Amino acid sequence: MEIVAYGVLLDEEPLLRQAFDEEFDGRHELRCLGLFLNRDTVPTAAGHQVVLSSVNDTLDSEVLRSLAKGGTRMIAQRATGYNNIDLTAAEELGLTVARVSSYSPYSVAEFAWTLALAVDRRIVRAAHRTREFDFRLDGLMGRDLRGRTAGVVGTGKIGTAFARIAHGFGMRLLGWDVAENPDCLALGMEYVERERLFAEADLVSLHVPLLPDTHHLVDARALALMKDDAILVNSSRGGLVDTDALLETLRAGRLSGVGLDVYEEEAGVFYLDKSLEVMTDERLARLMTFSNVLVTSHQAYFTRDAVGQIAETSVGNVADWFAGRTGDNTLVWPGLGAGTGTPP
């Protein structure tokens, strides 16, 4: 049978095809599409029992109904996050949904530090200057991170990897999460209330999933608590930060630097070439005007190691569905309709 994958990036496709070929050895075909799955594109999925989705696809109840009507029975999300999927509707429709529960945490943690160091040491501004043969140092002064405080919001695998790097820099560690991580405690991390973390940290990095309780976790109140010269980094989910509140904070001349790999309205913008269009998202356009803000296009995970693991796990989830198996990656398993595809 033919399996269709949506939102496949140019550098991702060879790794996805390699994992697919190794798992199925020609017993199934893989169709890779660069377009994202949404209400406009869902007709292209008709006749495909299995769909490989991306984090920027829109799998709301309407799209899921169209998928089910077209014969889709299994959705394998090529990401850890799944806030773009209506799981309740999927279960009602008898669809199986799986995700990639984990992959290299170092890819995201290292990129979060890339953002932090870039805004601290004004790397982007410096690079632009030197390309124009302007070698002045005016306005490029950063600061040592050793001895300063890193606030890690979310201390799962990625947050712990971030904390280890902070520990290597010689930073004091504050953490906030629903449960304390022994690995972080071993690094000397002190778990504190969220308000204290925002108030005391020189660098705040976000590593929690986007849930109703974490939506706009960094709001006007949290930003008001932060030091005027603090650095904020978000490499998790855009909805964790209230963009309007962040813009007001930046307009007030507060925060030394902000590194954003995600943005709450990134769907339909990130991963696409918008260079020849008028940017209609005024908030994103305003963010770009601040010299101490660095925005990247949700690429923290984008290493050969991590993408390879994501591909292997996603294909493995499909193989499990064919075999009638569930696992830690399974989000919805309605029973009816699951495992009804042709066995590999």
Catalytic residues: 237, 266, 298
Q: How many CA atoms lie within 13 A of 27 on its CB side?
A: 11
CA 270 to centroid of chain Cα atoms: 12
Residue with tokens 């972080």: 184
Residue 5 to residue 307: CA distance in whole angstroms: 14
Residue with tokens 């902070």: 166
**Coil vs helix vs strand at 4:** strand
The amino acid present at 227, given as its one-letter code, is K
Residue with tokens 């005007």: 289
Residue 238 to residue 194: CA distance in whole angstroms: 19
Residue 337 to residue 257: CA distance in whole angstroms: 50
The amino acid present at 44, given as its one-letter code, is T
Closest CA to 176 of 161, 157, 189: 189
Residue 159 to residue 244: CA distance in whole angstroms: 26
3-state secondary structure 277-331: CCCCCHHHHHHHCCCCEEECCCCCCCCHHHHHHHHHHHHHHHHHHHHCCCCCCEE
* φ, ψ dihedrals at 134, nearest 5°: -100, 110
Classify strands 50-53 and 2-5 as parallel, antiparallel or unpaired: parallel
